[in-house]
Structure 1
Amino acid sequence: MRFAIYGSGGVGGYFGARLAEAGEDVTFLARGDHLAAIKRDGLTVRSINGDIHLAKAQASDDPAAIGVVDVVIVAVKAWQVEEIAQTMAPLIGPETLVLPLENGVEATEVLGEVVGHDKVLRGLCGIIAYREAPGIIRHAGVEPFVRFGEPDNRKSERTQRVKAAFDRATGITAEIPDDIQVSVWSKFLFICAMSGVGAVTRAPMGISRQLPESRQLLEQVMEEITAVGRARGVALPDDAVARALTFIDTLPETSTASMQRDIMEGRPSELESQNGAVVRLGHAAGVATPINAALYAALLPQEARARGEVSFADR
């Protein structure tokens, strides 16, 4: 199958490289020094499951130069989804599928408004990976997985074709869940809690999950998300929070979420798509979210500074 990877950092770089290694036709959409390095030296993935080097990786910053593909994997930051959706038209043909692998719960709807709801799957992934240097991806933790499906959970031949492509790749477990909404929100539970608590504490997850006070904070964030999800019709199970905490307990002690790293390093982050989204969606559903609201408010000055909206110095 022909894939375009829109966003070639930790997530897109890893999964795209594994697909290319398995023989799929993959083109990476990248920018700046990362694009230059891939064109010059290829793409390298340094992985706990074995390294990859794609000496002749295909890469571009221009969707028009790539043309129509079978699948567009969207792996940009959540706050960039709406922007890149506006540039995606050259990649989209009558049979093209768009697969978002985003941290939030809104990407499918955002993409569908632009490219057509019939073309967009609902999806998620699990991996701890990041761009270590231009042209180099570091996979540091979690056994990588992708889960995706039709938004209405119907079984379809097109999702089976995409799964078959992932199944041909090593280092990836692919699944079409019975209820993709539950899967997306189940991931949202732990990644949003990790992101918000991690960004406020500025500590790795090994510390935040160990201290009783910050562990309780993680649990409270998850309980609010569960209430919002259920109010929106997502059939989250009774043990959803316990499962998410169990997953967090399996992560390497040094684990940090990408939103946490972005905030700590002064970059724009996914705050609006994570804790901010819980507050916004909760308000729309009539569900109180005081813990997420407090985290959002505490982090907002850092976010505003990263986006050039306010200016202040660290003391």
Structure 2
Amino acid sequence: MRFAIYGTGGVGGYFGGRLAESGEDVTFIARGAHLEAMQRDGLTIESPDGDIHLPETQATDDPADIGTVDCVIVAVKAWQVPEAAKAMRPLIGPDTVVLPLENGVEAADQLTAELGGNHVIGGLCGIVAYRERPGRIRHVGVDPFIRLGERDNRPSERTVALKDSLSNAKGIQAEIPDDIQVAIWSKFLFICAMSGVGAITRAPIGNTRALDETRRLFIAVMEEICAVAQASGVIMPDDAIERAMNFIEALPENSTASMQRDIMEGHPSELEAQNGAVVRLGQQYGVATPVNAVIHAALLPQERKARSD
């Protein structure tokens, strides 16, 4: 398949690199020093599953240079999706599939609004990875996985073909869950709690999960998310919070969420797409979300400052 990776940070760099390693036709969309390093020296991925170096990579900052592709993997930050959706139009042909891997629950709707629902499928991923420096991605935790499916859960040839291409790459577990919306909200459950609690405490997951006070905070955030999901028509499993907490327990002690790292470093973050989205959707569906509202309000001044800077 012919892939375009829109956003070549930890997520896009890792999954795109693994696809390229397996022989797929992959072009990375990046910018600045990262793009220059990839064009000059290729892409390096350091991973517990085995390091790789791609000495030559197809990389550009202009989607028009690429033309239409079979699949666009969208791996920008959640707050960048609306802008990316407009810019990726040159990549979209009649049969192009767009797979969003953002944190949050709104990316597919945002892409659909710009590109049309016939192109966009549901998706999520799991990985702890980041861009260590230009041209180098470091994978530090979680066995990397991608889950994808048609947004209405109907079987389709295109999702099976995409799953097979992803599964053929070393270091990627790909599957089509029975209900992609439940899968997306289940991931949102733990990443939103981990991001919000991590951002207000400035502590890694090993510290926050060890304290009764912050463990209760994780659970309170998740209870509100489950209530909002149900109000929106997504019925979460009875053990959804238990499973999310088990995932948090399994993370390396020094793990931090990308939203937490961005806030701690003074960068614009996914606050509005995570805890802010819980508050916003709660208001839409008439669900009280006081814990997420406090987290959102506590972090909002720094978020506004990062965006104005």
* TM-score normalised according to structure 1 size: 0.98
Moved >2 Å (runs of 4+): none
Matched with 1:157 is 157
1: CA distance, partners of 2:48 / 2:26: 22
CA shift for structure 1 position 167: 1.3
Q: Are positions 1:260 and 2:260 aligned together? A: yes
Matched with 1:305 is 305
Q: Are positions 1:177 and 2:177 aligned together? A: yes
2: CA distance, partners of 1:100 / 1:176: 14
1: CA distance, partners of 2:204 / 2:89: 40
1: CA distance, partners of 2:216 / 2:113: 38
Matched with 1:288 is 288
Instruction: Report SS of the residue matched to 1:214.
Output: helix
Matched with 1:312 is none
Matched with 2:191 is 191
CA deviations on 1:124-153 (whole Å, 9 max, x unpaired) are: 000000000000000000000000100000
Instruction: Report SS of the residue matched to 1:119.
Output: coil
* TM-score normalised according to structure 2 size: 0.99
Counterparts of 1:1-315 in structure 2, within 5 Å, are 1-308=1-308
CA shift for structure 1 position 89: 1.0
Aligned CA RMSD, in angstroms, stands at: 0.6
Structure 1, unmatched stretches of 5+, are: 310-315
1: CA distance, partners of 2:119 / 2:66: 19
State the AA in 1 paired with 2:129: A
1: CA distance, partners of 2:282 / 2:52: 42
Instruction: Report SS of the residue matched to 1:118.
Output: coil
State the AA in 2 paired with 1:13: G
Of all paired residues, the percent bearing the same amino acid is 69
1: CA distance, partners of 2:226 / 2:48: 32
CA shift for structure 1 position 21: 0.4
CA deviations on 1:9-65 (whole Å, 9 max, x unpaired) are: 000000000000000000000000000000000000000110011111110000000
CA deviations on 1:291-310 (whole Å, 9 max, x unpaired) are: 0000000000010010117x
State the AA in 1 paired with 2:123: G
Matched with 1:313 is none
CA shift for structure 1 position 235: 1.6
2: CA distance, partners of 1:90 / 1:70: 12
1: CA distance, partners of 2:258 / 2:274: 11
Instruction: Report SS of the residue matched to 1:127.
Output: strand
1: CA distance, partners of 2:54 / 2:98: 24
2: CA distance, partners of 1:172 / 1:293: 36
